[in-house]
Chains A and B, each alone.
Chain A
Amino acid sequence: MAIIKSRKCLAGAHVAHHKNTTEKETKQLPLSKKVTIPLLQHMGAPCEPLVKKGDHVCTGQKIGDNSAFFSVPVHASCSGVVEDIVSFTNIVGATCKAVVLAVDEEQQQAPVSRPVIETREQFLDAVRESGLVGLGGAGFPAHVKFGYRDIDKVDTLVVNAAECEPYITADYRTCIEARQDIVDGVRAICKFLNLSRVFIGIEDNKAFAMEVLDEAFSPEDHVTVVSLPSVYPQGAEKSIIYATTGITVPRGKLPADCGVIVSNVSSVAHLGRYLKTGMPLIEKRITVDGDAVSDPQNLMVRIGTPVRDILTYCHVSEDDCGKVLMGGPMMGSALADIDAPIVKNNNAVTCFLEKSSLLPKTTACIRCSKCIGVCPMRLMPAKLEKAYDKRDAEQLERLCVDLCINCGCCSFVCPAKRHLAQKNQLAKAFLKELKSKEDKKA
């Protein structure tokens, strides 16, 4: 067992850490009176409601599912009565149904029990039933990732505990507070997917988490804790694979194609706990911070809790606050409505004061190449922007805009304050639209 230093890693930006909540033990947020549980909290097909208006549901009861493979069931995060089933638009603009629960006093738990697993199929079923999606990113269904067609060629698990976003410490607290769950989760994944080595990537500003995890595993687990430089975005999937294993995931390929599966540390912890208790994903550890939060916290929050309740609990004054983010400042999405519910892949609520919410004026590119220097994907954002402004599809392809992971480093460093990362997102949408038009013609 050892903690090793990563020898080579991809570029990034030196972003202020603001990890104010590392020592803040997770507190349980009191239950809200009402929760709104969207039936699409994953990449893939939205779930159909399994309950109807007026039904009583128990904590942990399945309330939405879809027989499609690319879908993940949704569970009631509290017990209560289904007040309504409404249509809901999520943060990326997709629409689905959402179950609105009036939370009751009794808080009855559904009769859950420890799943019995002997085979890989049963394991994958259990992963699906646990409601697990990629908790660190876009909510990719975990059973799909683990059920990769050539899983026998995969031998490496990379546990992503880098937590490179400023402010957020939820994963760090998971490492400290749920270390046994992480160990159990890692062991189960390795056992059923037959993986032989494990790397846990953690940024070097979290030395204690490295020690804790290093001690928690035994030598038979073949776990190596890898210390990553605290340069944002070391937690990006391709970055952490490169930094821990040295493997370059080629353009257009999945990590699994290269023999690697990456899982966020919170996902692993949830899985470990589920296999012991049978309680599906109903709550998330969330960091509440930002310059508008005077008392930053780590909170355990039930899925579906309105962000407004979290702000109230943390005494965030709505008058001073100008911007509320789902997630951290580098990749989080700004909320237009603070009644939006917490979903599975949220790990933070970041609030900024009015004065820090406004973006500075954009000026002319001075060709300083800072954007090129920080891009982890080695793209040329300044050039990409020009290509997009000209709607030059060929040039965008040639410059590999598809590789952009929207990490925001380029926009962050740009002295001219150009919206480079956003332009790349627009460029990707533009290429997609172009392609679908061509497909229609053909």
Chain B
Amino acid sequence: MSKWTVSPSPHMLSSNSTSNIMFDVIVALFPALLVGIYVFGPRALIVTLVCVAACMLSEFVIRKLMKRDNTLGDFSAIVTGILLAFNLPPQIPLWVAALGSVFAIVVVKQLFGGIGQNFANPAITARIFLFVSFSTYMTTWTVPFGYQHMADAVASATPLVDIASANTLDLFLGNVSGCIGEVSAAALLLGGIYLSIRRVINPLVPLTFIGTVFVFTWVLGENPVNHIFAGGLMLGAIFMATDYSTTPATLRGKLIFAFGCGVITTLIRVFGSYPEGVSFAILLMNLITPLIDRCTQTKPFGAGGKQHV
């Protein structure tokens, strides 16, 4: 044995790592979390903590049971936990939140092989699972700042139900009822800008998604500004339609994905029976991602055919 380390090139690696990327996502989610807590009170924080804890615990246990290595260190379970909490109304019973978390990690993520292998977005799929199973809990909304007047759990429709009359500035800043992380478009945009600067996401993806919704709702005679600021669009476009595992690999594929999400979201919002369509749109596009991937492979340099990336 020689004392010299012999390994294949390259011998110098970037500082990129999975945990750094996930940490950046957590940082980017923070402004929206703060606004959520501000608008809905400590309950929002408690729900988020329960989701994160349940995600981490279930990831730890299921990896143990499957005799695989512990992956808590990549922080992806924390991201899933926060994202799921962001998709829940603040008054959700904590056991329902925990159940959703276990479903997201165990069924959607780990049974398909863990990080990078799942085909559907865990947080979104869990949201839909809860929506279908516990629709009352999932549609009981809290008035903003209700907690300050001891008026928790007062039902108030989300702005999506009556989108034309909603106040645009309230939507932008978060002075509306809705899910914990969805209320403030401004805070989510801040996170999106951070992720773009850190090169974790390509800003063209959320821009395409949001732009498509804007144009189509406008064409259909809706209020496009309110549409893009309301509901889960910002959260979905910035944080879920940019998920690595469940969206196409090449930029062309990603843009097709984002465009498809925009179209489906608009169709559901305008013509569907649910007021919100972002989750369904993303899940549907997740399902056809392998197909998009197959049609949008890169054309290797000099291998014939048109050149694009």
Q: Are A330 and B10 in contact (CB under 8 A)?
A: yes
Q: Are B16 and A413 in contact (CB under 8 A)?
A: yes
Given known A248-B302, A251-B302, contact A325–B11 (CB-CB < 8 A): yes
Q: From A290, which residue of chain B is reached at the shortest CB distance?
A: B11
Distance A198 CA – B10 CA, assembled complex (angstroms) = 32
Stretch at the interface among A128-136, A182-190, A280-288, A418-426: A418-426
Residues of B within 8 A of A10 (CB): 301
Q: Give A355 Cβ to nearest chain B Cβ, in Å.
A: 11
Given known A360-B13, A380-B249, contact A251–B304 (CB-CB < 8 A): yes
| Interface flags, A385-413, vs B, CB<8A=1, else 0 | 00000000000000110010010100111
Q: Are A11 and B309 in contact (CB under 8 A)?
A: yes
B196 located at the interface, meaning its Cβ lies under 8 Å from any Cβ of chain A in the complex: no
Q: Give A404 Cβ to nearest chain B Cβ, in Å.
A: 9
Q: From A357, which residue of chain B is reached at the shortest CB distance?
A: B5
A175 located at the interface, meaning its Cβ lies under 8 Å from any Cβ of chain B in the complex: no
Q: Give A377 Cβ to nearest chain B Cβ, in Å.
A: 5
Residues of A within 8 A of B170 (CB): none
In order of increasing CB-CB distance, the 10 nearest A-B pairs are: A408-B10, A329-B12, A400-B300, A415-B16, A422-B8, A357-B5, A334-B6, A329-B11, A323-B5, A250-B302
Q: How large is the interface on B (under 10, 10 to 19, 20 to 34, 35 or more residues)?
A: 35 or more
* Among candidates B11, B20, B74, B249, residue contacting A363 with C-beta atoms closer than 8 Å: B74
Residues of A within 8 A of B156 (CB): none
Residues of B within 8 A of A382 (CB): 249
Stretch at the interface among B33-41, B113-121, B187-195, B227-235: B113-121
B165 located at the interface, meaning its Cβ lies under 8 Å from any Cβ of chain A in the complex: no
Q: From B247, which residue of chain A is reached at the shortest CB distance?
A: A367
Distance A416 CA – B17 CA, assembled complex (angstroms) = 6
Q: Are A403 and B301 in contact (CB under 8 A)?
A: yes
B137 located at the interface, meaning its Cβ lies under 8 Å from any Cβ of chain A in the complex: no
B60 located at the interface, meaning its Cβ lies under 8 Å from any Cβ of chain A in the complex: no
A51 located at the interface, meaning its Cβ lies under 8 Å from any Cβ of chain B in the complex: no
B280 located at the interface, meaning its Cβ lies under 8 Å from any Cβ of chain A in the complex: no
Q: From B17, which residue of chain A is reached at the shortest CB distance?
A: A415
Q: Are B13 and A412 in contact (CB under 8 A)?
A: yes
List A residues 304-361 near B (Cβ within 8 Å). 318, 322-325, 329-338, 350, 352, 357-360
Q: Give A433 Cβ to nearest chain B Cβ, in Å.
A: 18
Q: Are B115 and A364 in contact (CB under 8 A)?
A: yes
Q: Are B298 and A403 in contact (CB under 8 A)?
A: no
Residues of A within 8 A of B304 (CB): 250-251
A13 located at the interface, meaning its Cβ lies under 8 Å from any Cβ of chain B in the complex: yes
5 A-B pairs whose Cβ atoms sit less than 8 Å apart in the complex: A322-B5, A329-B9, A331-B9, A411-B13, A415-B21
